[in-house]
Amino acid sequence: MGALRADDRAPGLFVGARVDVAADASLGAHVVLHDRVTIGPGCAVQDAAVLGLQPARLPGADGTHDWGAVVLEAGSAVCAHAVVYAGVHVGAGAIVGDQSLLREGAEVGRDTVVGRGSTLSRGVRVGDRVRIQTNVWLAAGTSVEDDAFLGPGVTATGDEPRGATLGRACRVGGGAVIVGAVDVGEEAFVAAGAVVEADVPARTVVMGSPARVVREVGAEELLERWR
């Protein structure tokens, strides 16, 4: 991790090497931009956010992996007290909420919202127009496809190389737990509080612990109907 230096573009701002901030981007107070951070046009980085942090290593662990640069595409926002690790890519128009944690190599798609206090673990992939509400936790290797919705307190457990896959336009209710490398099909609905231990077929509704199919998603409930 390179040395940081004070920068007068914002109160209490510290930056590392190879930091590129667009002229019309806004920076709050006490922001820290570590080495290799690119902030695009119209972006906002709010108070006390930290970007480009390198992961700590246990004694004897391999610390040679290069996660690459942090990139915020045009019009995206990283809100107050969020921490964004090295190698994270945030798509145009996306919002990373207050106190969120994006671990190394995570990707957030265009116009996606990551709610307050949510965690995207190492290498999580989130598509476009996804809505992730407050205090969601996604394990390393989780993939969330376009237009999905994750209610508050959803947890996806598991680990790399493959976590859960949450399909296009699926909806996962608050407090649901997705266990391991299961697939939740496109346009499926997982009821609040369900514990999902097996694949969920596309366009079905599941509930309970363990979650079971109770019916199909009606044609009038499909997101694609409104497109």
**pLDDT per residue over 66-124, tens digit each?**
889 999 999 999 999 999 999 999 999 999 999 999 999 999 999 999 999 999 999 99
Which pLDDT belongs to residue 111?
98
- Residue with the two structure tokens 């108070």: 47
- Taking alpha carbons only, the member of 3, 75, 57 closest to residue 32 is 3
Which pLDDT belongs to residue 226?
53
Is residue 63 over pLDDT 90? no
Which pLDDT belongs to residue 60?
64
Same topology, domains 1-54+66-117 and 121-227? Answer is yes
What topology is assigned to 121-227 in CATH? UDP N-Acetylglucosamine Acyltransferase; domain 1 (2.160.10)
Give the pairing type, strands 26-27 and 50-53. unpaired
% of the chain with per-residue pLDDT over 70: 95
Mean pLDDT of 131-140: 97
Half-sphere exposure of 141 toward its Cβ, with a 13 Å CA cutoff?
Answer: 14
25: its two tokens? 């981007």
**Homologous superfamily assigned to 1-54+66-117:** Hexapeptide repeat proteins (2.160.10.10)
- First CA to last CA distance, the chain: 46
CB 49 within 8 A of CB 26: no
* pTM score over 0.85: yes
User: Is pLDDT larger for residue 69 or for residue 225?
Assistant: 69
CA 26 to centroid of chain Cα atoms: 21
Mean pLDDT of 149-168: 91
Burial class (CB in 10 A: 0-12, 13-18, 19+), 166: buried
Is residue 164 over pLDDT 70? yes
Task: Please report, for the chain, the start and end positions of each structural domain, with discontinuous segments joined by +.
Answer: 1-54+66-117, 121-227
43: its two tokens? 């972006």
- Cis, bond preceding 59 (omega within 30 deg of 0): no
- Taking alpha carbons only, the member of 77, 104, 106 closest to residue 92 is 77
pLDDT digits (tens, 9 = 90+) for 191-209: 999 999 999 999 999 999 9
Is residue 10 over pLDDT 80? yes
Is residue 225 over pLDDT 90? no
Half-sphere exposure of 163 toward its Cβ, with a 13 Å CA cutoff?
Answer: 25
Q: Sorting pLDDT into bands at 50, 70 and 90, what band is 221?
A: confident
